[in-house]
Copies of this chain bind each other. A is one copy, B any other.
Amino acid sequence: MNFVRELVKYNSKMNIGIIGLGTVSRGFLEILQEKTNWVSQKFETDIKVVAIKDIMKGNMYNPKGIDINILLQKLDKGENINDDSLKDEHPLSKIEDIDLIIEASYSDYKTGDPAYTFIKDALSNGKHVVTTNKGPVALHYTELNKLAIKNNVSLRYEGTVLSGTPTFSLIEECLAGDDITEIRGILNGTSNYILSKMAGGESFENALGVAQQKGYAEADPTNDVKGYDARGKVAILSHKVFGVDLGLNSISTKGIDAISKKELDAAKKEGKNIRLIGSLKKTGNTIEAKVQPEALGQDDALSNIDGVTNAIEISTVYLGKIMITGPGAGKLETGYSVFSDVLSVIKNF
């Protein structure tokens, strides 16, 4: 008698937990909904979202995978997602069958919490982490990176700079064989939008008002207009590219709220554009980092970046100057940064 045995190939699994159901997670879920089958085929990995926690919208846990379609419909209707499957006091980091946690709650630039604590707990419990929260990465990268290495998991944060526009993946994957000597960037879309409007004759106050109406600027625009958001991103770039923890306070920071009408007029007269530039320059073992408005001539590629667009110019030893330009915010744009990070984890582990 002959037994015919079929060789069945099983995919790997990637069970995801999500902390925070805001715009970013929504964008990620919409992309994942479209791309689940593609990931299964291309990477031989089955992605499932098994748990979600949101302080406002509720909690869910389903080890077989949450139906994203139904979830998105509930969110569209503004419904609470709670189904008593996961208690508030039960942290995602303690759920054994979660492989990766998407941390998309909120944070500040003072302590980085609550995001910082969520990330720390996740890494300590052997979960990969993808985050879009700048605070914890800017403030605690050294500690979190060590924790990730110690637990043999990945900590990724593509969305913290230029949303989904490839920045860290570009540096890691495409520029690995080159040496970066300098980075200059338009890292804050809100302030660039305001500057573009001001160049067209608007006052700072009016331009800010329009930015707030359009949803580019928050009700409290301090982080954007004072340069603190750009500074946080400069700190993250310094960690990642140069391996140096500068500390936020040692990054000299001027915002766009300090620009006078006189400076604007003078720049215009010379055919220049004022841009808020975050920059890092390596000389020997020293990193010079700062954030400030700069009047840039037309021959400076960053001068021509208008509106909410972000851009980073990277100087390297072999390539000279290259520049990547793209969105700095947005639901699908930042959602893609998370999706892209999840793919990187799948590829590398």
Q: How many monomers of this chain does the complex have?
A: 2
The count of chain A contact residues (Cβ–Cβ below 8 Å) is: 37
- A 135-172 contacts with B by CB, 8 A: 164-166, 169-170
Q: Are B173 and A169 closer than 8 Å at their CB atoms?
A: yes
Q: Does A325 contact B (CB under 8 A)?
A: yes
Given A170-B170, A299-B306, does the pair A176, B343 have CB atoms closer than 8 Å?
A: yes
User: Is A320 located at the chain interface by the 8 A CB criterion?
Assistant: yes
Of B322, B324, B335, the residue contacting A322 (CB under 8 A) is B324
Chain B positions within 8 Å of A318 at CB level:
31, 164, 332-333, 335-336, 339
Report the bound CA distance from A31 to B318 in whole Å: 8
What B residues does A343 contact at CB under 8 A?
176-177
User: Once bound together, how far apart are the Cα atoms of A173 and B178, in whole Å?
Assistant: 17
| Residue A301, interface by CB 8 Å | yes
A203 lies within 8 A of chain B by Cβ: no
Nearest chain B residue, comparing its CB with the CB of A306: B299
Q: Are A326 and B333 in contact (CB under 8 A)?
A: no
> Do the beta carbons of A326 and B319 come within 8 Å of each other?
yes
**Complex Cα–Cα for A192 and B175 (A):** 25
- Classify the secondary structure of A's interface with B: mixed
Between A174, A332, A343, the greatest number of chain B beta carbons within 10 A of the residue's beta carbon is seen for A174
A321 within 8 A of B: yes
A322 lies within 8 A of B166 (CB): yes
Checking B31, B166, B176, B298 against A170 with a beta-carbon cut-off of 8 angstroms, the contacting residue is B166
- Bitwise, A16-55 to B at CB < 8 A (1) or not (0) is 0000000000000001000100000000000000000000
Chain B proximity mask over A310-327: 1 for CB below 8 Å, otherwise 0: 000000011111111111
Q: Is A304 an interface residue (CB 8 A)?
A: yes
Cα(A327)–Cα(B335), bound, Å: 31
* Cβ-closest chain B residue relative to A323: B325
Indicate if the CB atoms of A177 and B336 lie closer than 8 Å: yes
A133 close to chain B: CB less than 8 A? no
B336 and A327 form a contact (CB under 8 A)? no
Q: Which residue of B lies closest to A314 (CB)?
A: B326
Nearest Cβ on chain B to A111's Cβ, whole angstroms: 31
Chain B residues with CB under 8 A of A322: 165-166, 324-327
Write 6 A-B pairs (CB below 8 A) sorted by A numbering.
A35-B177, A170-B170, A177-B336, A319-B326, A319-B327, A322-B327
Closest 6 pairs between A and B when the two form their complex, measured CB to CB: A166-B174, A322-B326, A173-B173, A318-B336, A304-B304, A323-B325
Interface residues, chain A, with chain B CB atoms under 8 Å away:
31, 35, 164-166, 169-170, 173-178, 298-299, 301, 304, 306, 317-327, 330, 332-333, 335-336, 339-340, 343
